[in-house]
Amino acid sequence: MAAQIKFQSPPTFGGKDGEDVVQWMHRYERIGRYNRWGDDELRDHVELSLSGAVQKWYSYKEAVGQLAAEWKDDAGSPIVPGVKTQLLEQFKPVNQNRFNEAKLRKPKQGIEESTIEYFYDILDLCRRVDPNMTEATKLAHLWRGLKTSLLEKLWRLKPNSCDESRNQAVSGNDFPSKTRGMGDGRGRKTNTNDG
């Protein structure tokens, strides 16, 4: 008997400010693969994952016969864009690359943002801006927006790679709340909040 999988609902995309159609598409296809959808199912189900202006665009294109019949591009001559390409072309911001470059020039780790989340956000931006970016350039971008305490720690340790930086940044000091009020292993309670 085949193993049952639990259906996952794809995210919804409405084309609002701050929504990234490329990230949404990646997530939609990833969940579709998990749900064992082929290209036909991806095309058939996409309408259910659209809202707002994007849903209206889709309905209009379908009603006037301008929506592709396939999910992926038809590689024949001439190339006919599929629904995936139509969505990406319509809703990807014209200046997406410049926007990503600007975010990368002024990174800032949020107050509540974990170091791991910050590292992978910056590394993803680096990948989008330049897939061939050097390790040294990535490190410079990573360090630029780190919290001061972590930056000082890394400056002393001088890691040579992004992975080394991440590992050293999260070891120990990144999660201080886990050590407060813990026992010292000898039955005595310690308090790291002396003050």
Confidence of residue 157 (pLDDT cuts 50, 70, 90): confident
Q: Is a pLDDT exceeding 90 seen at residue 90?
A: yes
Average the pLDDT over each of 22-31, 39-48, 165-174, 184-193 and give the range with the smallest value. 184-193
pTM tops 0.85: no
In the chain, where the domains are located: 21-91, 96-174
Which DSSP string corresponds to the chain?
A: -PPP----PPPPB---TT--HHHHHHHHHHHHHHTT--HHHHHHHHGGGB-HHHHHHHHHHHHTT-S-SSSSPB-SSS-B--HHHHHHHHHS-TTHHHHHHHHHHS----TT--HHHHHHHHHHHHHHH-TT--HHHHHHHHHHTS-HHHHHHHHHH--SSHHHHHHHHHSSTT-GGGTTT-B-SSS-B--S---
Question: Mean per-residue pLDDT for 110-115?
Answer: 86
